[in-house]
Amino acid sequence: MQQGQFLAISRQSPERFASPMSFSLSNGTVVDILAEGIIGFSPAQAGNKDIVLSCGVHGNETAPIEICDELVKNVLTGELTLAHRTLFLFGNLPAMDIGKRFVEENMNRLFSGAHSEGEGLVNQERRRAKQLEDAVAAFYTALPVSSNSPERERIHYDLHTAIRASKNEKFAVYPYLHGLPHSKEQIAFMGACGVKTILLSDAPTTTFSYFSSHDFGAHSFTVELGKVRPFGENDMRRFADAKEMLTQLISQHAITLPEFVEEDFDIYRIHQTINRTQEDFALHFGDDTPNFTDYKKGTLLASETGARYEAQADGEAIVFPNAKVAIGQRALLTVIPTTLDE
Ligand SMILES: [Zn+2]
């Protein structure tokens, strides 16, 4: 631990974190380890932000895991002093070990209680999703909110990398806000991270970012930082802006952001959510088609027995296609350009 090897110990000897532990660093930061892969920090002079950074909810999405591992290391060794309470979550440790997205079930469909529905907490992804939710809830509610204390700002960035290449390499999914306004400041922060494409959700989901947004009013995003590569094979220069901004976010009381200019961003809203309902579900574009490739109205995008799915508008683009999902799960999203205020 003195060398900051929290993730390595979590992966190799998770039993060492079987019960929660707490200790202080020499700079006064209190460290709370709730379980393997779950570590929170409370600096002696904590600012008004409560920040959650999660990674590895998909085990093979390594670049964000490497970024968070390094940030945790730097905090533990005293190299980086935090300005705000920060919780780091390394999501799916067993999936990391086998270099797969998940072991039994896609964890990013198991939040907002979905882990306990149906057959219940029957696999490690379901139990872990619940444990991550509990950790987030405990972290956000640890400080009593009193009328004379300044507003606390809750933030959660769930960091991912996409399976396939993308025309817009980095993009973020903004969870459905149930009519509340989108935060221009938050989108400006995404822009400073190099994330210039924002996808606005139009409905509740069982993703991690929707959970913290909906249940705790956190400024929350699923952030896709590029394409999946194995550990050690990431060109970390491609992630330099994101890492720099995340470092500033947690270590500076206030950060200076460029003014939000909507024209600098590609903003999309979800148009169609296409689920696989039959064995013969097929996509009608190549396996290597990048995310955000757009089509003319009427183009056949996918089909299965009893259904044909076409682009319904010119410029409708595909995101997250995956014909191999389990029956009943989402196989494709389509999006169309929009503006923030629409
Ligand atoms: Zn992912």
pLDDT one digit per residue (tens) for the chain, 342 residues = 889 999 999 999 999 999 999 999 999 999 999 999 999 999 999 999 999 999 999 999 999 999 999 999 999 999 999 999 999 999 999 999 999 999 999 999 999 999 999 999 999 999 999 999 999 999 999 986 655 566 889 999 999 998 777 778 899 999 999 999 999 999 999 999 999 999 999 999 999 999 999 999 999 999 999 888 888 887 888 899 999 999 999 999 999 999 999 999 999 999 999 999 999 999 999 988 999 999 999 999 999 999 999 999 999 999 989 998 999 989 999 999 999 875
Asked which of 263, 292, 318 is the last residue of a domain, the reply is 263
Given a contact cutoff of 8 angstroms between Cβ atoms, the answer to whether 317 and 335 are in contact is: yes
Domain co-membership, 249 together with 276: no
Q: Are residues 231 and 304 in the same domain?
A: no
Same domain, 237 and 88: yes
342 is in an annotated binding site: no
CATH number at residue 285: 2.40.50.630
Structure tokens at 35: 């379980």
What is the model's pLDDT at position 294? 95
pLDDT value of position 175: 97
Catalytic residue, candidates 133, 224, 304, 316: 224
The alpha carbon of 333 and the centre of ligand 1 are apart by a number of angstroms equal to 15
Is 58 assigned a ligand-binding role in the annotation? yes
134 plus 257 within the same structural domain: yes
Q: How far is the CA of 264 from the centre of ligand 1 (A)?
A: 25
Note whether 82 and 132 are same-domain residues.
Answer: yes
Has residue 164 been placed in a domain?
yes
Whether residue 255 is found in the same domain as residue 280: no
Domain identity same for 252 and 301: no
Domain identity same for 239 and 279: no
Is the separation of the CB atoms in 300 and 281 below 8 Å?
Answer: no
Domain boundary among 243, 263, 283: 263
User: Are the C-beta atoms of residues 158 and 209 closer than 8 Å to each other?
Assistant: yes
Is 36 considered catalytic here?
A: no
The CATH number of residue 17's host domain is 3.40.630.10
Asked, for residue 342, whether it belongs to a domain, the answer is: no
| Number of independent structural domains in the chain | 2
CA distances from 300 to 72, 227, 278, 312 (A): 46, 26, 17, 10
Total-model pTM = 0.93
At residue 341, the pLDDT reads 73
Q: Write down the pLDDT at residue 174.
A: 97
* Tokens representing residue 250 in the block: 């947690």
Query: Using CA atoms, how far apart are residues 123 and 228, in angstroms rounded to an integer?
Result: 24
> Do 76 and 107 fall into the same domain?
yes
Which range of residues forms the domain containing residue 328? 272-337
In this structure, the answer to whether residues 162 and 198 fall within a common structural domain is yes
Q: Give the end of a domain, one of 207, 236, 263.
A: 263
Contact criterion met (CB below 8 Å) for 129 and 117: no
Ligand 1 ion: Cβ-proximal residues, 5 Å cutoff: 58, 61, 160
**Could you tell me if residue 87 is inside a domain?**
yes
Q: 49 and 190, same structural domain?
A: yes
Whole-number Å distance, alpha carbon 114 to ligand 1 midpoint, is 17
- Residue 271 in marked binding region: no
Q: What phi and psi, each to the nearest 5 degrees, are found at residue 85?
A: -60, 135
Determine, yes or no, domain membership for 316: yes
